[in-house]
Amino acid sequence: MELFTLPLQILFFAGVLTATGLVLYRLIYGPSIIDRLICVDALVLLVICLIAGVMIVVDTRWFFDAVLALAIVGFVGTVAFAKYLESGGLVDHDD
Amino acid sequence: MIEILFIAMIFLGVFFVMTGAVGVIRLRDPYTRLHAVSKGTTLGFALIIMGVAFLHGDISDIFKALVAVIFQFSTTPIAAHMIARLGLRKGIVPVRNGNGDPMTEADKNYTATRESGEEPSGGAEAENPA
What chain A residue is nearest to B78 in terms of C-alpha separation?
A79
Identify the domain containing residue A39 by its residue range. 12-86
Give the Cβ contact number of residue A75 at 10 Å: 19
Domain membership flag for residue A77? yes
Model confidence over A40-57: pLDDT tens digits?
989 999 999 999 999 989
Domain membership flag for residue A4? no
Model confidence over B38-48: pLDDT tens digits?
999 999 999 99
Domain membership flag for residue A28? yes
Cα separation, A30 vs A22, in Å, equals 11
Q: pLDDT class for A32, splitting at 50, 70, 90?
A: confident
Number of domains in chain A: 1
DSSP type of residue B41: I
Full-model pTM: 0.79
For every residue of A22-53, DSSP letters joined together read HHHHHHHH-SSHHHHHHHHHHHHHHHHHHHHH
What chain A residue is nearest to B60 in terms of C-alpha separation?
A64
Domain membership flag for residue A5? no
Domain membership flag for residue A93? no
Distance from CA of B28 to the nearest CA of A (A): 11
For B75, residues 6+ apart whose C-beta sits below 8 A from its C-beta are A75
Nearest neighbour of B33 by CB, restricted to A35, A64, A68: A35
Nearest neighbour of A16 by CB, restricted to B4, B17, B53: B17
Q: Which of residues 32-51 of A touch B (CB under 8 A)?
A: 32-35, 37-39, 41-42, 45-46, 48-49
Domain membership flag for residue A54? yes
| ipTM, two decimals | 0.87
Task: Tell me, rounded to whole angstroms, the distance of Cα A81 from its chain centroid.
Answer: 15
What chain B residue is nearest to A26 in terms of C-alpha separation?
B25
